[in-house]
Every structure is written in structure tokens, then in C-alpha cells.
């Protein structure tokens, strides 16, 4: 918002140059159509202004605008790293930079980083904080009052979240339960964008609109029947990527709803390269630092994207893919290390892989997230202790797991059968590893119980 305002402003030092060509108009189905009209931007000379990018064409004064833009970024977003190019050559800023923070000696009271340069009011207390923290505090207040102008806040205001109380912190969001951090990013987007400015503008605008429409529907589904505190907060919404924090039990149904609506819209529209998502979901206690959860969510999204590339290389239909990890420990370890250690068992012809992740989001059967969620619903009244004991036997050997399966009570066996589990193991191919859906299925069944007093400590 601010950089386009600056570029369009009445400043004699620079002048925008209108872009020629056919650029897409605002999409009437877009929930944010009043804020995203590429054709109107192009008439002013602005090519892009989304996902952390700003690109514009100038009649003159590009150097002067660059200096003013750099000053604006330093003032409004202190500490943000950015780079600027003019005619594809990187602009070199002055090596001397004086901080806008006041020359006082006291550190920021909230973070300990930066100088205490501004006094803010939080409830009945006052705090001396850095300019960076003051900017964040102001942004939070604007979001609470539905006055924020970032895309995530604008979209939230058009959903059921607008009528629910916004959590002040993670404890407000989840209480004694667990939280989920969801990171999603478009698959193979960069390679399909086209070669001309018009083609890229059309492609990226289409993807933005698709994601926002699907996201609006997914939020509505998650908030159905909710009163009081919102179960979900949209932290970031870019072009084809997003970051969401929510209650643990809402996360995987949210992912299915998002991808299902995304696929439905494109199936009905049938226009262009299909947009699919690579999604990472980490579920953990609210005391674990959010930066660590974000790191793991990105790792899991990368895992999902690798599977997507494998599907593409094999000529299979493009699918949204998800990977997730659940932690009940006091720290979140590297998921790849845990999986190599705990999920790959046996040797040679008895090699066993205890999880199917990453999996396609949509589809029937226990090899997709949608199918696993449906199967987990059938297990809600099953004897939990027996199912968890069965999962505990999986790494101990194929025969021991099959024996535990045969010794299940009639009730447990019937529930598993209803969920789609007729046997413990399936072979991927002749001589290939044995796989099982049991660990994934039981883990999903247990998510809504995380945080209860009788929950034993474990990591899956």
C-alpha cells in the first residue's frame, strides 16, 4: 500500500510511466477485488505490488524514488532487509546509515534488542520499546480494530473471524490444548509464469485470486459453530503462499477444505495451469518458540513439494500435497532426523516404513489426508489403548505387529475395518518396503485429545 502511494504522490522529483499491453482487471469473484486491480495499476505504471515485491516504470526520477522508498522502508519497517534494482542493475545504497532510533542507552524493555525509543501503552502499563516493536504493537492494534490494510487482515474482515474475538497470544488461542502452524506455498509457480510482463501479471493475479477464494471458504468452514475466541489467525497472505496458526484439531480439516475448494474452483473454471499447494503443518505445545515451529513447518512444506515434483516427473496428475508432524515433547527436533531414526525399520526384504507422509491432500482411501480424516472419524469410539498399543508394535517387527492386530478385541477390529484397515502391512512393489497407514491414522485420531491430563509424552 505505502510504496504505490509514494510512487503516485504529487512529487516533482519522479513521474510514473503508464504500461502498455493487456493487463487483467479486478476479478468480481475475488473477496479483495477492490484492493487488487492490475489493469488500474498498469495505467499508473505499476506492474506488481504483492508478495513482498514492488515493480514500477518511470518516465524520469527512478533514482529519486528509490532513495525515498529506501527511507520509507527504514522508517516504517526498521530492520527489514530489502534490495532494489533499477533497469536490472542493483541499486547501491550509501554505506553510511544513521538509525532513526533516538540516541538513548536503555534497551527495549520487551525484546532487549534495539534502543528504547518510544513509550507505548499496554493495558494499564507503559513500556519503553524500540521502534520496531512499536510498529508491531501498532499493527496488532489495527488488526484488532479491523483497520489494518495488509491482505491477511483485509480478508479476515470478510469472514466469520470478524465476529469472533482475536486472540491476544497463543495461550488465548489454544488454552491448555495444542496449536498448529500451517505453511502453504504454490507448487511450481515460478516456472509457469510466462515470459512477458502481461503474461506474468495475469498468471500471478489469477493465482492470488484463486488462493484468496479458497482461503475464504476454508476459514468459513473452520469457524462454523464457533463463538467467542477465534480458532484461527491468518498471520501472512502473499501471492500464492500463506501462514496460519490455529488450534491443533482444526489444522488438517482446514488444509483439506482449502485444497478442496481450490480444486473445485479450477475444475469449474478450467483456465490455465492448475494451482496446487505444498503444505507443511507442525502441531506442538504453545510454549515452543514460534520461530522454531516456523522452521519446521517450512521443512515439512519442502518435503511436500518434493513429492509433488516426483508426481510431475512420473507424469501423474498435479495434486496438492501435505506433510505434517506432531510433537508432544518440550522441544521440536528436526523431523527428517526423527523419521530416519524411528520410521524406517528392518533390513533387506523386511524393510518397513511406518508412515506414508507426505501424502496427497485429496482423494479416497487411507493414502490421502482426506481419506485418513474420514477413517479417523470412524475410530472415535474405538478402544484407544488397544490402537496405541498396536502402533507401538509397528517398529518391533512385521510379525509382532500382525500378531497384535490379530489379538485386538472384536470392537477394535470392527472399528479399524470400518476405517478401511483390513491388514497391517501393504507392499509397495515386489521386493519393495512394507508400509502401513496405522501410525498416520491413529495419530490423526489422537490430535483433538492433545493437552489432556492423561496424554502421555510421545512424538509421532
Q: Based on DSSP, count helices (H) and strands (E) in the chain, helices before strands.
A: 15, 18
Confidence of residue 282 (pLDDT cuts 50, 70, 90): very high
d(CA 328, CA 79): 34
Q: Is 359 helix (H, G, I), strand (E, B) or coil?
A: strand
Q: Is 127 helix (H, G, I), strand (E, B) or coil?
A: strand
Q: What is the mean pLDDT of residues 299-319?
A: 88
Helix ranges (DSSP H) in 190-239: 197-223
Q: What is the mean pLDDT of residues 373-394?
A: 95
- pLDDT number for residue 459: 42
Residue with cell 518435503: 303
Question: By mean pLDDT, which of 74-83, 115-124, 141-150, 303-312 is the weakest?
Answer: 141-150
In the chain, % of residues over pLDDT 70: 92
- pLDDT number for residue 95: 46
For the record, the C-alpha cell of 257 comes out as 477444505
Confidence of residue 271 (pLDDT cuts 50, 70, 90): low
Tens digits of residue pLDDT in 322-344? 999 999 998 999 999 999 999 99
For the beta carbon of residue 362, count every other beta carbon within 10 angstroms. Answer: 19
Residue with cell 506492474: 47
- pLDDT number for residue 347: 82
Q: Is 238 helix (H, G, I), strand (E, B) or coil?
A: coil
Tens digits of residue pLDDT in 16-26? 999 998 999 99
> Between residues 59 and 143, which one has the greater pLDDT?
59
Helix axes 248-269, 369-378, angle to 10 degrees: 130
d(CA 141, CA 129): 16
Residue 352 DSSP symbol: E
For the record, the C-alpha cell of 15 comes out as 513521474
- pLDDT number for residue 30: 94
Q: Is it the case that residue 148 has pLDDT exceeding 70?
A: no
> Between residues 429 and 405, which one has the greater pLDDT?
405
In the chain, % of residues over pLDDT 90: 66
d(CA 193, CA 272): 11
- Using an 8 Å Cβ cutoff, are 134 and 128 in contact? no
Strand partners, 120: 127
Mean pLDDT of the residues in the chain? 89
Q: What is the mean pLDDT of residues 373-396?
A: 94
Closest Cα to residue 389, out of 408, 411, 410? 408
d(CA 370, CA 256): 6
Closest Cα to residue 354, out of 442, 460, 436? 436
d(CA 104, CA 209): 46
d(CA 212, CA 102): 40
Could you report how far apart the first and last alpha carbons of the chain are, in Å? 43
Tens digits of residue pLDDT in 206-217? 999 999 999 999
d(CA 438, CA 416): 9
Amino acid at each position: 500500500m505505502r510504496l504505490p502511494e509514494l510512487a503516485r504522490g504529487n512529487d516533482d522529483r519522479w513521474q510514473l510511466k503508464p504500461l502498455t499491453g493487456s493487463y487483467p482487471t479486478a476479478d468480481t469473484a475475488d473477496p479483495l477485488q477492490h484492493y487488487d486491480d492490475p489493469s488500474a495499476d498498469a495505467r499508473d505504471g505499476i506492474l506488481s505490488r504483492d508478495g513482498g515485491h514492488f515493480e514500477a516504470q518511470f518516465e524520469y526520477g527512478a533514482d529519486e524514488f528509490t532513495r525515498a522508498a529506501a527511507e520509507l522502508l527504514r522508517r516504517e519497517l526498521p530492520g527489514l532487509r530489502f534490495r532494489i534494482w533499477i533497469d536490472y542493475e542493483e541499486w547501491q545504497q550509501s554505506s553510511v546509515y544513521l538509525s532513526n532510533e533516538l540516541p538513548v542507552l536503555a534497551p527495549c524493555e520487551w525484546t532487549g534488542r534495539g534502543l528504547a525509543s518510544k513509550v507505548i501503552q499496554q493495558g494499564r502499563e507503559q513500556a519503553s520499546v524500540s521502534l520496531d516493536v512499536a510498529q508491531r504493537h501498532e499493527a496488532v492494534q489495527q488488526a484488532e480494530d479491523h483497520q489494518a490494510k495488509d491482505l491477511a487482515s483485509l480478508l479476515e474482515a470478510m469472514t466469520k473471524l470478524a465476529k469472533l474475538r482475536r486472540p491476544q497470544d497463543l495461550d488465548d488461542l489454544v488454552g491448555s490444548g495444542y496449536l498448529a502452524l500451517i505453511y502453504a506455498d504454490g507448487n511450481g509457480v515460478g516456472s509457469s509464469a510466462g515470459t512477458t510482463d502481461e503474461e506474468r501479471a495475469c498468471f500471478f493475479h489469477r493465482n492470488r485470486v484463486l488462493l484468496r477464494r479458497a482461503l475464504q471458504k476454508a476459514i468459513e468452514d473452520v469457524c462454523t459453530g464457533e463463538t467467542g475466541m477465534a480458532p484461527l489467525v491468518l498471520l501472512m497472505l502473499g501471492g500464492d503462499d500463506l501462514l496460519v496458526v490455529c488450534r491443533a484439531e482444526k489444522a488438517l480439516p482446514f488444509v483439506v477444505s482449502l485444497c478442496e475448494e481450490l480444486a473445485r474452483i479450477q475444475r469449474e473454471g478450467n483456465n490455465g495451469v492448475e494451482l496446487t499447494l505444498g503444505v507443511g503443518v507442525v502441531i506442538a505445545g504453545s510454549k515452543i518458540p514460534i520461530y522454531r515451529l516456523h522452521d519446521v513447518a517450512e521443512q515439512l512444506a519442502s518435503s511436500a513439494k518434493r513429492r509433488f515434483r516426483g508426481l510431475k516427473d512420473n507424469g501423474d496428475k498435479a495434486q496438492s500435497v501435505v506433510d505434517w508432524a506432531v510433537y508432544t515433547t518440550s522441544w521440536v527436533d528436526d523431523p527428517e532426523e526423527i523419521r530416519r531414526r524411528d520410521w524406517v525399520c528392518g533390513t533387506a526384504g523386511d524393510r518397513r516404513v511406518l508412515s506414508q507422509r507426505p501424502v496427497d491432500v485429496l482423494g479416497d482411501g487411507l493414502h490421502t489426508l482426506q481419506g485418513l480424516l474420514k477413517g479417523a472419524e470412524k475410530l472415535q469410539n474405538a478402544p484407544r489403548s488397544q490402537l496405541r498399543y498396536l502402533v507401538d508394535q509397528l517398529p518391533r517387527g512385521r510379525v509382532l505387529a500382525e500378531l497384535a492386530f490379530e489379538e485386538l478385541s472384536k470392537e477394535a477390529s470392527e472399528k479399524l475395518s470400518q476405517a478401511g484397515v483390513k491388514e497391517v502391512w501393504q507392499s509397495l512393489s515386489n521386493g519393495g518396503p512394507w508400509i502401513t497407514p496405522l501410525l498416520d491414522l491413529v495419530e490423526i485420531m489422537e490430535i483433538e485429545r492433545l493437552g489432556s491430563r492423561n496424554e502421555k509424552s510421545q512424538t509421532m
